[in-house]
A and B are shown apart, each in its own frame.
Chain A
Amino acid sequence: MELTKEEVLHIARLARLGIEDAEIDRLQGELSDILGHFTVLSQVDTEGVPPTAHTVAQCNVLGYDEPAPSLPTEEVLSNAPDRDGDFFRIHAVLE
């Protein structure tokens, strides 16, 4: 199980994860090694076995549509890295 450098860069881009050149080589080796160990899963016969997403079988969990106070604006913005009045200030999305 050998990941290529291009695959590592592709995954990092999908994850929006900035990685430095030195990290690329390291991750290429580590991920290849780890995934190599996990190819053992193909040995388990899962023909006709359904996947388990959650161990507790709950059907749709519905909440009542009851109005309640939301967090005050000041608290919502209290951890904002950058703000402009009552707004989060971010980089331009469309240029």
Chain B
Amino acid sequence: MTIDVSSFTIVEARKLLDAKEISSVELTRAYLDRIDAVDGKVQALMTVTGDLALKQAKDADAAIARGEVAALTGVPVILKDVLCTKGVRTTCSSKMLENFIPPYDAGVVERLKARGAVIIAKANMDEFAMGSSTENSVYFTTHNPWDLTRVPGGSSGGSAAAVSAGEAPAALGSDTGGSIRQPASFCSVTGLKPTYGLVSRYGLIAFASSLDQIGPLTQDVADSALMLNAIAGYDPRDSTSVPQPEADYYGCLGGSVKGMRLGVPKEYFAQGVTPEVKAAVDAALKVYEDLGCSIEECSLPTTSYALAVYYIIAPSEASANLARYDGVRYGFSYKDTGSMWQAMEKTRGLGFGPEVKRRIMLGTYALSAGYYDAWYVKAQKVRTVIRREFDAAFEKYDALITPTAPTVPFKIGEKAADPFSMYLSDICTIPVNIAGLPGISIQAGFADNLPIGLQIIGKPFSEKTILNLGHAYQQNTAWHKRRPKL
């Protein structure tokens, strides 16, 4: 049977697979055909693992025939190329890891495979997850499926664009300062950044360890919950993984949101948020009001300092994490020189792109003798103040509502020459990582056919609450059902 997979959700695919109206091999082939048809335009994918995917699909069909069906059995999934995949090239979109083939799977990849998912491709990204547009990939720029002259956001821009373009029903990304939610907003998909510690970071190539978190990009909240069911859980190989009882995030959907208290922090509307984005958020708040939620403006006064905190802490951690790329054990290695130090400097100088170098330099400066207290320790103290403000807000509110990004997607090249203006595009998402909170971006409208996202922020480990709020919104609106024409 010929099927149009471009707007399939996991839930819909599951129904067809379970009813045996389609096999996983047929479904996987349909997605591979879709990739063939559209990825030349979108350029979301770094590596397509067609043969491997068809083999996994065959195994999934055998499992379905035996009646051994898990939520993702036979469902194709895309992974951001920052996640280690055993035997499959993992580049981080960097020259440094051009030929790197990991000897192990990341914890989340193990979990997806254990639940029967079919890994169909690895997605393009900003190099080492540093960026807000996927223009920092050293290989190619991904295009926004809604307007190919615009960026898909970043750094999980390949994952977001791939789901938006219907190349798979779901993808995994990683979010350090908004790298799942901001591209979700730009590509009109649902993007969830879980609470820090809920999902294992084992095998996620490290950028800023106290901020990084893996999460799903999907077409709707229901699929996001299904993906979270699969990837959340304690992993002793990640010492920051938090022991939590496993929960059913999908099963909790559909609960009433009547009586929920929503705070709207005014500072998130002060920093470059366009009138179109504000209007979309206001319209979404009206939906929640009609559903019986109470809405109240509130204040988180230290929000305006979050960007500075982030761009001290994240580069500092990056400078330490990226010290491992010395050209000795794996990755690019420059050999044509005499001394060890020269070889190392050449390896790192030629192997890293401009944004990565900029952040290593920023971080090294902030951690260096004489500046450590004034920059790094000061940023960590302001981080405490920001977290305390969130804690106080969550004594009054069940969730906070903000825009995800201050604008609709910008043009490719528009901000490339001005790093600071690029940094501002994550201004609404960064505070959530600084405080380790969960946040979800859902589709909330369009301005001139360009997507707008709404962010719902919850207290730590309140994924059920924010998923339920997002789901309630999607039950009463249809923005998430609009697909780009490619």
Tell me the A residues contacting B by CB distance below 8 Å. 3, 7-8, 11-12, 14-20, 23, 27, 30-31, 33-35, 37-38, 40-44, 46, 49-56, 58, 61, 63, 71, 75-76, 78-82, 88, 90-93, 95
Shortest CB distance A9–B (Å): 11
CB atoms of A91 and B368 under 8 A apart: no
CB atoms of B379 and A18 under 8 A apart: no
CB atoms of B210 and A53 under 8 A apart: yes
CB atoms of B358 and A27 under 8 A apart: yes
Shortest CB distance B154–A (Å): 18
Chain B positions 153 through 176: 1 when the CB is less than 8 Å from some CB of chain A, otherwise 0: 000000000000000000000000
CB atoms of A90 and B362 under 8 A apart: no
Q: Which of B18-26, B58-66, B282-290, B344-352 contacts A (4 or more CB under 8 A)?
A: B344-352
CB atoms of B384 and A44 under 8 A apart: no
Is B308 interfacial (CB-CB < 8 Å)?
yes
CB atoms of A79 and B357 under 8 A apart: no
Please name all residues of chain A whose beta carbon is closer than 8 Å to the beta carbon of B305 when the two chains form the complex: 40-41, 43-44
Q: Could you list 22 A-B pairs, sorted by A, with CB under 8 Å?
A: A11-B361, A11-B368, A14-B364, A15-B323, A16-B348, A18-B350, A23-B354, A33-B419, A35-B365, A38-B375, A41-B305, A44-B302, A49-B381, A49-B384, A54-B240, A55-B460, A58-B239, A79-B101, A80-B329, A81-B328, A92-B339, A93-B340
CB atoms of B341 and A16 under 8 A apart: yes
CB atoms of B364 and A41 under 8 A apart: no
Please name all residues of chain A whose beta carbon is closer than 8 Å to the beta carbon of B347 when the two chains form the complex: 18
- 18 additional A-B pairs beyond A15-B364, A55-B436, beta carbons within 8 Å, are A12-B361, A15-B323, A15-B348, A16-B326, A17-B349, A17-B364, A18-B345, A30-B358, A31-B361, A35-B365, A41-B308, A43-B305, A44-B385, A49-B384, A50-B381, A52-B384, A56-B242, A78-B103
CB atoms of A34 and B382 under 8 A apart: no
Tell me the B residues contacting A by CB distance below 8 Å. 99-101, 103-104, 196-197, 210, 236, 239-240, 242, 302, 304-305, 307-309, 311-312, 319, 323, 326-333, 335, 338-341, 343-350, 352, 354, 357-358, 360-362, 364-365, 368, 375, 377-385, 387, 419-420, 423, 434-436, 460
Please name all residues of chain B whose beta carbon is closer than 8 Å to the beta carbon of A33 when the two chains form the complex: 419-420
CB atoms of B358 and A82 under 8 A apart: no
Shortest CB distance B44–A (Å): 26
Please name all residues of chain B whose beta carbon is closer than 8 Å to the beta carbon of A53 when the two chains form the complex: 210, 380
Number of residue pairs across A and B with beta carbons under 8 Å? 169
Among A17, A31, A46, A51, the most chain B Cβ lie within 10 Å of the Cβ of A17
Nearest to A8 among chain B residues (CB) is B361
Please name all residues of chain A whose beta carbon is closer than 8 Å to the beta carbon of B387 when the two chains form the complex: 52, 55
Shortest CB distance A27–B (Å): 6
Nearest to B86 among chain A residues (CB) is A75
Q: How far is the CA of A44 from the CA of B308 in the complex (A)?
A: 11
Q: How far is the CA of A78 from the CA of B383 in the complex (A)?
A: 41
Shortest CB distance B92–A (Å): 13
Q: How far is the CA of A63 from the CA of B237 in the complex (A)?
A: 9
CB atoms of A71 and B103 under 8 A apart: yes
Among B330, B350, B365, the most chain A Cβ lie within 10 Å of the Cβ of B365
CB atoms of B364 and A81 under 8 A apart: no
Q: How far is the CA of A46 from the CA of B196 in the complex (A)?
A: 24
CB atoms of B360 and A46 under 8 A apart: no
